[in-house]
Amino acid sequence: MKTFRKSFIKTKPLEKASAKETFKESFIKVKLLGKASSKAQSAMEYLMTYGWAILIIAVVLGALFELGVFNANNFAPKAPPGACQVFRPNGPGTTSFINLEGICSGELPQYVAQFNGASSSITGNLLFGTTNLTISAWISNTGQGTYWQNIAEIYGNQNTHETLDIGVTAPSGNAVIRWSNQANTFQNQPGGGIIKPNIWYLVTGVWNGGTNTLSIYLNGMLVATGSGNGTISTFVNGFNIGGAYPGMLIFSGLIANVQLYNTPLSANEIQALYLEGIGGAPIDLQHLVAWWPLNGNANDYSGNGNNGQINNVNFVSNWYSGYTPP
């Protein structure tokens, strides 16, 4: 009995202490929960107060990104008009001791040419003869038209309307090279690839007079090839950029760095031309006939004097959207 009583006395105070500690722990938990609830309420009040401002800032930042304000190209160095050109010490048409002069390391151009799809073109004469051609141009079109958007065209005898041109077809958006004459006696239009609106592409067309083969490249890659049914006479007359002879099928969008060679560039050379980017210099000076960077003007910087005449063409500096360096 005595033993039991002592044990009971010892145990009872322990039970009281345990109840008191449990109450204390519960009180602390309630207090902590109250503080957490208070913080959550403060956070909600903050969001209610400043939420609209945060949303507006997010929308503005998204719009600026979409407009290309934060595009890295905005901060890249720009080459001014005429920064790079071909020097021919013996005059136009010569090929001895020619070389590049100026800033020719592929800086982005300060300007590109903008065509309105209705009345824009750059035209001029070409004083050369050849049985082979390569035409190359960087483009960003605003959308496919009803039939054909001309990028660049070389034409021979105006009476027979012999032409070789590269363009974009509608509604497929294919890159195409086309040979035709007035009677369409020998006509072929190999085309391929897909040109999406408002994205920059390098379009390169090749005519090999030896094999009478037409080839079209998109971003340095062959997308289509075909053979004509006859021969193409020597081109000695003129050129048209952005509009097809005689002033129709106008290109809508941006064009830059148009290059013309009197040789069929190889696949490796065309790939190298693409990898240079939109500000790249000509790849084969010995066979270069004309080079129109369209960086603020329509001058020919090949040293051959084939300057163009501007018809309703603007030169714009905010062209970076849609361009990704190769």
Instruction: Say whether both 101 and 19 belong to one domain.
Output: no
Strands 238-241 and 121-125: antiparallel
CATH number of the domain enclosing 301: 2.60.120.200
**Domain co-membership, 34 together with 128:** no
pLDDT score at 250: 87
pLDDT in tens, 278-317: 999 999 999 999 999 999 999 999 999 999 999 999 999 9
Say what the pLDDT of residue 75 is: 64
| pLDDT tier for residue 238 given thresholds of 50, 70 and 90 | confident
pLDDT of 215: 95
Handedness of CA 122, 79, 168, 303 (dihedral sign): positive
**Which range has the worst mean pLDDT, 71-80, 133-142, 221-230?**
71-80
Span 17-75, pLDDT tens digits: 454 455 445 544 445 445 555 666 666 666 566 666 666 776 666 665 555 555 566 66
CA–CA dist 137, 152 (Å, integer): 8
Categorize the per-residue pLDDT at 1 as very low, low, confident or very high, splitting at 50, 70 and 90. very low
Residue 116 belongs to some domain of the structure: yes
Residues 148, 10, single domain; the answer is no
Q: Which amino acid is at 124?
A: G
Say whether both 119 and 220 belong to one domain.
yes
Average pLDDT, integer, range 132-139: 95
Residue 98 resides in a domain:
yes
Q: With 0-12 CB in 10 A as exposed, 13-18 as middle and 19+ as buried, what is 11?
A: exposed
Within 8 A by CB and 6+ apart from 185, the residues are 229, 230
Last residue of a domain, one of 18, 40, 66: 66
- Same domain, yes or no: 19 and 82: no
DSSP helix/strand/coil, 134? strand
Q: Are strands 108-109 and 78-79 parallel, antiparallel or unpaired?
A: parallel
Same domain for 88 and 19?
no
Q: What is the pLDDT of residue 313?
A: 96
Higher pLDDT, 247 or 321: 321
Q: Are residues 273 and 148 in the same domain?
A: yes
DSSP H helix total and E strand total for the chain: 2, 19
Say whether pLDDT at 258 is over 80. yes
* Domain encompassing residue 239: 78-316
Please determine, for residue 109, whether its predicted confidence score (pLDDT) is greater than 60.
yes
Tell me, yes or no, whether 173 and 32 share the same domain: no
Statement: residue 179 has pLDDT above 90: no
In this structure, is residue 156 part of a structural domain?
yes
Q: Are residues 17 and 110 in the same domain?
A: no
* Amino acid in position 314: N
Is residue 193 scored above 50 in pLDDT? yes
Considering 34, 66, 98, which residue would you say is the last residue of a domain? 66
Q: Is there a single domain that holds both residue 268 and residue 305?
A: yes
Backbone angles phi, psi at 86, to 5 degrees: -90, 130
pLDDT of 13 reads: 46
Tell me the per-residue pLDDT of 65-103, one tens digit each, with 9 for 90 and over.
555 555 566 667 789 999 999 999 999 989 999 999 999
Whether residue 262 lies inside any domain: the answer is yes
Q: Residue 212 and residue 227: Cα distance in Å, rounded?
A: 6
pLDDT at 39: 61
Residue at which a domain ends, from 15, 43, 66: 66
Is 232 a domain residue?
Answer: yes
CA–chain centroid gap for 74, Å, is 14
Of the pLDDT bands very low, low, confident and very high (cuts 50, 70, 90), residue 16 is: very low
Is 323 a member of any domain? no
DSSP per residue, 204-242: EEEEETTTTEEEEEETTEEEEEEE-SS--PPP-SEEEES
Asked whether residue 188 falls in the same domain as residue 258, the answer is: yes
Asked if the structure places residue 322 within a domain, the reply is: no
Does residue 73 belong to any structural domain of this protein?
A: no
Residues 44 and 86 in one domain: no
How many domains does the chain divide into? 2
